[in-house]
Amino acid sequence: MSKVRVLIVLVILISSGGILLSNVCAKSPPDHVNIGAILAFNSTIGKVAKNAIEAAVDDVNSDPTILSGTNLNISMQDTKLSIGFLGIIDSLLLMEKDTAAIIGPQYSVMAHVISHIANEMQVPLLSFAASDPTLTSLQFPYFVRTTQSDLYQMSAVADIVDHFQWRDVIAIFIDDDHGRNGVAALGDKLAEKRGKISYKAALNPDNNNNVINNKEEINSALVKVALMESRVIVLHIYPSFGLEVLHIAQTLGMMGSGYVWIVTDWLTTALDSDPSLLASSSIMNDMQGVITLRMFTPDSRIKSNFESRWPKLAHQTSNNNEKGSLGLNIFGLYAYDTVWTLAYALDEFFSNGGTLTFSNDSILNTLRGDTLHLDTMGVFLNGSMLLQKILEVNRTGLTGRMVFSQDGNLMNPSYEIINVIGNGVRRIGFWSNSFGLHSGEQVPNHENSSEGLYGVIWPGQTTQTPRGWVFASNGRHLRIGVPLRVSYHEFVSRIEGSDMFGGYCIDVFTAALDLLPYPVPYKFIPFGDGKTNPLNSMLLQKVTTGNFDAVVGDITITTNRTKIVDFTQPYIESGLVVVAPIRKMKSNAWAFLRPFTPMMWLVTGMFFLAVGAVVWILERRLNDDFRGTPRRQFVTIIWFSFSTLFFAHRERTVSTLGRLVLIIWLFVVLILNSSYIASLTSILTVEQLSSPIKGIESLATSNERIGYLRGSFAENYLTDELNIHRSRLVPLNDPSEYEKALKDGAANGGVAAIIDERAYMELFLATRCEFGIVGQEFTKMGWGFAFPRDSPLAIDMSTAILKLSENGDLQRIHDKWLTRSACSSEGAKQGIDRLETKSFWGLFLLIGIACFIALLCHLIRMAYRFKRHYSSNNTNSNLEVEGSSSCFSRIKSFFLFVNEREEDDEKIKRRRKDNRVVAHEVDVSPLHNSNVSIHVENGA
């Protein structure tokens, strides 16, 4: 039994050892890893990338610190400039060889197709040149972009456009996935900055190898572009197309002054790949003033070493005709870094137990016997693990830091902004996703960088920033919609027997056009039936639908209208006013009372009496003018109070407090007198008008009928903003209906008032003095010319209107058409401008405080003097023997004391001296003490 147990244990140990041994063998790194590369060997990018990839594979295989002896076995497939079928075939051929990863393809169109195969086979696809933003979507999880996405490049282009304050651009692009999706990203980025692509010129990618068709198509597309208004052109194309587009544009005169060409990074790729282009004066002449971009790669030691090696690597190219002439472009650097990124990912993959295990797809087994041997294609079972290791790579390569986001894009993208000048290029700034546009000598996050760009030399050898648009030279005139009014022809009217228009609005528009630095061909087109005034809202809708290029007329700028069109600077202010019948106020015998309101008269009279009483209190003990019988003192108070109105009082003031109060009161009287005289003069010399309607407030709260101009925005304003029921509103067509409705009145089927814009009403009142504007203008609006949204012409016209205002031409045009007569210029008042108490409460408060303080000081002084007087009398008269007096007797004594005339200080001193002498004599003659005491008391 024990032997059996030992045998079982031995069997278990042997089997376990075999399992462990097999696992160790399975996890050991393989001798080589098959990787593939799909390139177009004869393309500008493919030539450089092929040499860079081969150099990177050699460097990885010769580096003992990576992959632990495992070599990369690269298999390259040449798509021969085909971006479709051959790329699919090449990818399938690579899949037959148990390929762990594929580098490429360089074309975005091919990447879209091969990504489906990569998804099925679970093979990571690392592209160093496919920049289509849509490739890094959830649809293609195995696609990893090892270069910058066009999403960021188009963000940089949009920032350049916004920096120079352009709004419309024209996009010329190849009509494939690369071109369409790049331009779509540009449109989205421009929309974020209120810009747009006004025209898209698509070129056929199938004409890439057909030189004749290619030139004809480019020429036709550029002729159409030249007829557009925008002069900002974004060229997003392949290098093989791009130089030809610029050459044909030069022959068509589209590289001259006024044009802006923003070229994506294909141009710097072409110039870097073929340095001989910079030496060709004819080629460089085709791109003078162009702005282009280049992916930014920081300077480093490993980059410098590789650049020094490049001439030798380029010399080894298979094309003997181009030995030594192949330059290193940015995609070559990214291709080199892609190989190293894959190598680091494979190293981590093997270190974490990853194996190169492939399994045949059961679906592909049905294709057994096919010449492509599709049945031999295997699914990479650990492909998702390798993909994750690729996305986790964090290393520094030739292009800088290689760090991926979860969507497979490189992080921290940045671009150089390049200006083509003379026989070379000049860097004018940087763009980064974090800092936007920056100028400086380093990458945009450098502390010495600043926002913006250095100066640009534009096409036509000018440093002046182009306006970015012109009027199209296709012979089409600007279509100007003009309302065909049946009233107020002073603003807009058609000249009889012609298609021409005249009026205030027309003259302002033509005068503004004359100030523009460029000619503007235009044609006025009437809008309306000529029987009723057209609706301005419908006229503006014609602009949004493209029927009109602009609208000129009496168009009020409102909030809702600014949402659909762009208005110029207002050229006239015209808010809503209330017009109603008015009557003249007749003068009468009591007109002199009208300057002050009854309350004002009452308060003023009370203060006259109060000030007189205060001065009487302060003066009566010192001043004989304020003493006497009660009747005389009352008359003195009345006389003194009202005589201050004319500064004719004969009573003098001797007390300091009295003089202080009088000075302040005379100042108050001066203000009251001046205001009264001014108001009375206005009442007696200016005609006063009155109306039962005092303004919009009283009209809105009443139930009276209100007239308005048919088609005007006033109807919606009255109902929406003032909550006036529509049943009270009466639409009217012209001034004659205004006049009839106002004369009939609301009781006879007319209206109590009319609400319309001030500009109309001033003309209406010029010859109708029985009506007038009542109340204040209750809206602040203006008239402007309407243009489509984001129209650059609206900005230039606004500038021209401001110039008209500054040089006085706008006022002269106004006086020519809208001169007002006397009755309309005077206007009507809401009521007589009577002076109210609230206008003078500060003065009354001032004199009131002065009187209170003066009385308080006087009372304190009297109390102090009375106390001294009372104490002195008690001592001298020996009244303390008799005890204290009652409170009533003391108050009575105080009023008697106050009523006495106050003597000056010298008399008081002499009197006190005499009292002391008398008291001394009494003490010396005790025999006559009683008689003396009686004498003293009687004397007191």
Secondary structure of 303-349 as H, E, C letters: HHHHHHHHHHHHHCCCCHHHCCCCCCCHHHHHHHHHHHHHHHHHHHH
Against a cut of 0.85, is the pTM above it?
no
pLDDT of residue 712: 83
- Rounded CA gap, 643 and 937, in Å? 46
**For residue 468, pLDDT beyond 60:** yes
**What value does the CA radius of gyration of the chain take, rounded to a whole number of Å?**
50
DSSP H helices in 144-280: 150-163, 177-192, 211-226, 239-251, 266-273, 276-279
What local confidence, expressed as pLDDT, does residue 427 receive?
94
Residue 552 has pLDDT above 90, yes or no: yes
**Taking residues 887-895, what's their average pLDDT?**
70
Q: What is the pLDDT of residues 189-213, one digit of tens each?
A: 999 998 899 999 999 887 555 555 6
Whether pLDDT at 773 is above 90: no
- pLDDT tens per residue across span 780-813: 889 999 999 888 889 889 999 999 999 999 999 9
Q: Which of 579-593, 641-655, 880-894, 908-922 has the lowest mean pLDDT?
A: 908-922
Share of the chain above pLDDT 70, in %: 77
pLDDT band at 821 (very low <50, low <70, confident <90, very high): low
Which whole number is the average pLDDT over 49-66? 93
Q: State the pLDDT at residue 826.
A: 44
DSSP assignment of 157-171, as one string?
Answer: HHHHHHHTT--EEEE
For residue 213, give both structure tokens. 């068709």
pLDDT tens digit string along 392-413? 999 999 999 999 987 778 988 9
Q: What does the pLDDT look like over 907-935, one tens digit per residue?
A: 555 555 565 555 555 444 443 444 434 33
pLDDT band at 82 (very low <50, low <70, confident <90, very high): low
pLDDT at 461: 92
Q: How confident is the model at residue 601 (pLDDT cuts 50, 70, 90)?
A: confident
Dist. CA 429–CA 440, nearest whole Å: 6
pLDDT of residue 53: 95
| Cβ proximity of 419 and 289 under 8 Å | yes
Q: Are strands 566-567 and 786-787 parallel, antiparallel or unpaired?
A: antiparallel
pLDDT at 871 over 60: yes
What pLDDT, on the 0 to 100 scale, is given for residue 690?
64
Least confident of 249-258, 832-841, 890-899: 832-841
**Integer CA distances (angstroms), 729 to 252, 365, 490, 746, 830, in order:** 62, 84, 26, 11, 22
For residue 105, is the peptide bond before it cis, meaning its omega torsion is within 30 degrees of 0? yes
Q: With a cut of 60, say whether residue 369 has pLDDT above it.
A: no
Evaluate whether 475 touches 522 at the Cβ level (below 8 Å). Answer: no
Q: How many CB atoms lie within 10 A of CB 772?
A: 23
DSSP 748: G
205-240 pLDDT, tens digit each: 875 555 556 888 999 999 999 988 899 999 999 887
Lowest mean pLDDT across 260-274, 336-350, 926-940: 926-940
Q: Which of 649, 654, 618, 646 is nearest to 636 (CA)?
A: 649
pLDDT of residue 655: 77
Q: What's the mean pLDDT in 471-481?
A: 77
Closest to 128 (Cα-Cα) out of 274, 339, 309: 339
* pLDDT of 936 over the 80 cut: no
**Residue whose C-alpha is closest to residue 400's, from 409, 389, 408, 410:** 410
Say which residue, 151 or 325, is predicted with more confidence.
151
Residue 348 has pLDDT above 60, yes or no: yes
Amino acid letter for position 306: F
Q: Which residues of 295-310 are buried (b: 16+ CB within 10 A; e: fewer)?
A: bbbeeeeebeebeeeb
Structure-token pair, residue 251: 């022959």
What are the tens digits of pLDDT across the range 84-121? Answer: 666 677 777 777 788 899 998 888 988 998 898 888 88
pLDDT of residue 883: 42
Residue 424 predicted with pLDDT over 80: yes
Indicate the range of 514-523, 607-616, 703-712, 725-734 predicted with least confidence.
Answer: 607-616
Say whether pLDDT at 21 is over 50. Answer: no
pLDDT digits (tens, 9 = 90+) for 657-684: 777 887 887 888 888 888 878 877 776 6
Q: In which band, very low, low, confident or very high, does the pLDDT at 459 lie, cut at 50, 70 and 90?
A: very high
At 431-458, the pLDDT tens digits run: 998 888 988 655 545 455 567 789 999 9
Residue pair 750/741 in contact (Cβ under 8 Å)? The answer is: yes
* pLDDT at site 12: 38
β strands within 492-546, DSSP E:
493-494, 501-502, 522-527
For the chain, the average pLDDT equals 81
Question: Is the CA virtual torsion 8, 11, 13, 19 positive or negative?
Answer: negative
